[in-house]
């Protein structure tokens, strides 16, 4: 029988499991929850205030879906740490710890691979292997907090995968990481990024979470967006922005629009003007991401001057614009590239 993934359970769910399945007392659930989500242990034997018998029963019926660190690279430039983790089934995933003045931010993956097919992205090259469980998403933060000794204050779900394509686990993860019985990271410090799955944006709006929703827009018209992102064939920019309006009206939370700048593709003054026009009526924040060139992809980064011009042009229209700082350039911290390199090397070895 498959073991139960109890680290993905909320406290009330865990109480049900302990009482109904194991026939033990309800208060044990709180102790176990604390070991998993505050003390961050990765096996049952470390749960020393439980009887040996209970620990053994847990080990035979449940799993914590532990993550093993396969590699950790530390940037000499800015201290960014890039992690490769091996999941219980051997899948390899990546996460990043970035240190900012305002705190430590962890970028986590939400799927093993991705099926969205964005043309500039390394994470989607080999397609989707599987969804991740909430416990595997939590486990990335727990493992990083333990390994680095740093308290994680911000979470961005911007690693490999499309989180809204793994909707239930992503929402469960956000509720649990912000749960006062766990690490209690404020929802205001959580950002979830999506390529724009419209029905799920409506659903997410109705969850009433205080998180930041980031939309990967990347283009100022539908034709250009279609050439960069297959999802644009399914939902038009107009449909996407309508969902964003609903999200804003329902939650009062300002959205972020991500715009990756590819040289000669979407970085002209006309693009900036058209983008500002699209966002009219929004309280908008655009985060410009200089494209990270990926070996297998044809896109190149815009030159510095075009990036700055784009920002200035956009600002004229009254919104808030930032350029994402490149972190950990020396350790391939960008967008799925370390995992990609690791997997390619593995394939070469296996051949």
DSSP state at residue 89: T
Binding of residue 194 to ligand SAH (CB under 6 A): yes
We find the least distance from the C-beta atom of residue 262 to ligand SAH, in angstroms, to be 8
**Which 3 state secondary structure label does DSSP give 93?**
strand
Residue 110, C-beta contacts closer than 8 angstroms, at least 6 positions apart:
131, 132, 137, 157, 159, 160, 161, 162, 163, 166, 169, 170, 173
Residue among 14, 118, 170, 279 that touches ligand SAH (CB under 6 A) = 118
Residue among 120, 247, 248, 257 that touches ligand SAH (CB under 6 A) = 120
Q: Which residues of 109-134 are buried (b: 16+ CB within 10 A; e: fewer)?
A: bbbbbbebebbbbbbbbbebbebbbb
Residue 283, C-beta contacts closer than 8 angstroms, at least 6 positions apart:
248, 254
Binding of residue 32 to ligand SAH (CB under 6 A): no
The answer to whether 250 and 207 have CB atoms below 8 angstroms apart is no
Quick note: the x/- pattern for ligand SAH over 77-116, rule CB under 6 A, is: ----------------------------------------
Residue among 195, 201, 205, 279 that touches ligand SAH (CB under 6 A) = 195
Binding of residue 154 to ligand SAH (CB under 6 A): no
We find the least distance from the C-beta atom of residue 217 to ligand SAH, in angstroms, to be 8
Number of residues that bind ligand SAH (CB under 6 A): 16
Locus of tokens 């190149």: 300
Helix axes 269-278, 304-315, angle to 10 degrees: 40
We find the least distance from the C-beta atom of residue 108 to ligand SAH, in angstroms, to be 10
Q: Which is nearer to ligand SAH, 41 or 97 (CB)?
A: 97
Please give the backbone phi and psi of residue 86, each rounded to the nearest 5 degrees, phi first.
Answer: -105, 125
The answer to whether 248 and 207 have CB atoms below 8 angstroms apart is no
Q: Which is nearer to ligand SAH, 63 or 80 (CB)?
A: 80
94 is catalytic: yes
H, E, C per residue of 155-214: EEECCCCCHHHHHHHHHHHHHHHCCCCCCCCCHHHEEEEECCCHHHHHHHHCCCCCCEEE
Quick note: the x/- pattern for ligand SAH over 277-316, rule CB under 6 A, is: ------------x-xx-x----------------------
Quick note: the x/- pattern for ligand SAH over 228-267, rule CB under 6 A, is: ------------------------------x-x-------
Cα–Cα distance measured from residue 123 to residue 131, given in angstroms and rounded to the nearest whole number: 14
Binding of residue 216 to ligand SAH (CB under 6 A): yes
Residue among 29, 97, 244, 335 that touches ligand SAH (CB under 6 A) = 335
Catalytic residue among 107, 114, 195, 335: 335
335 is catalytic: yes
Catalytic residue among 94, 136, 162, 258: 94
Cα–Cα distance measured from residue 249 to residue 196, given in angstroms and rounded to the nearest whole number: 17
We find the least distance from the C-beta atom of residue 3 to ligand SAH, in angstroms, to be 30
Binding of residue 121 to ligand SAH (CB under 6 A): yes
List, by residue number, the catalytic residues.
94, 335
The residues that touch ligand SAH, with contacts defined as CB under 6 A, are 118, 120-121, 158, 162, 193-195, 216, 258, 260, 289, 291-292, 294, 335
């Amino acid at each position: 029988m498959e073991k139960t993934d109890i680290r993905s359970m909320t406290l009330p769910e865990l109480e049900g499991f302990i009482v109904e399945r194991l026939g033990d007392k309800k208060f044990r659930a709180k102790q176990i929850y604390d070991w998993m989500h505050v003390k961050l242990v990765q096996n049952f034997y470390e749960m020393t205030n439980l009887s040996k018998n209970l620990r053994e029963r847990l080990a035979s019926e449940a799993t914590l879906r532990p993550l093993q660190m396969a590699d950790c690279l530390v940037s000499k430039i800015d201290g960014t740490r890039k992690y490769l983790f091996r999941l219980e089934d051997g899948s390899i995933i990546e996460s990043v710890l970035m240190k900012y003045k305002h705190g430590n931010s962890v970028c986590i993956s939400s799927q093993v691979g991705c099926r969205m097919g964005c043309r500039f992205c390394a994470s989607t090259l080999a397609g989707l292997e599987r969804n991740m469980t909430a416990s595997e998403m939590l486990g990335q933060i727990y493992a990083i907090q333990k390994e680095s000794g740093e308290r994680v204050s911000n979470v961005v779900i911007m690693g490999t995968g499309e989180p809204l394509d793994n909707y239930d686990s992503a929402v469960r993860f956000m509720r649990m990481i912000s749960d006062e019985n766990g690490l209690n990271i404020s929802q205001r410090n959580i950002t979830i990024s999506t390529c724009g799955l419209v029905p799920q944006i409506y659903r997410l709006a109705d969850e009433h979470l205080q998180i930041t929703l980031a939309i990967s827009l990347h283009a100022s018209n539908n034709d250009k967006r279609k050439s960069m992102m297959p999802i644009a064939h399914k939902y038009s920019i107009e449909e996407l922005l309508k969902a964003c309006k609903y999200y804003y009206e329902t939650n009062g939370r300002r959205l972020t629009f991500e715009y990756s700048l590819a040289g000669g593709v979407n970085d002209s003054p006309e693009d900036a003007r058209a983008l500002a026009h699209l966002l009219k009526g929004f309280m908008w924040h655009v985060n410009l991401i200089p494209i990270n060139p990926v070996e297998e992809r044809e896109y190149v980064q815009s030159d510095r001057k075009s990036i700055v011009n784009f920002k200035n042009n956009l600002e004229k229209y009254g919104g808030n614009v930032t350029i994402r700082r490149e972190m950990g350039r020396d350790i391939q911290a960008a967008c799925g590239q370390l995992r990609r390199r690791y997997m390619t090397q593995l394939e070469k070895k296996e051949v």
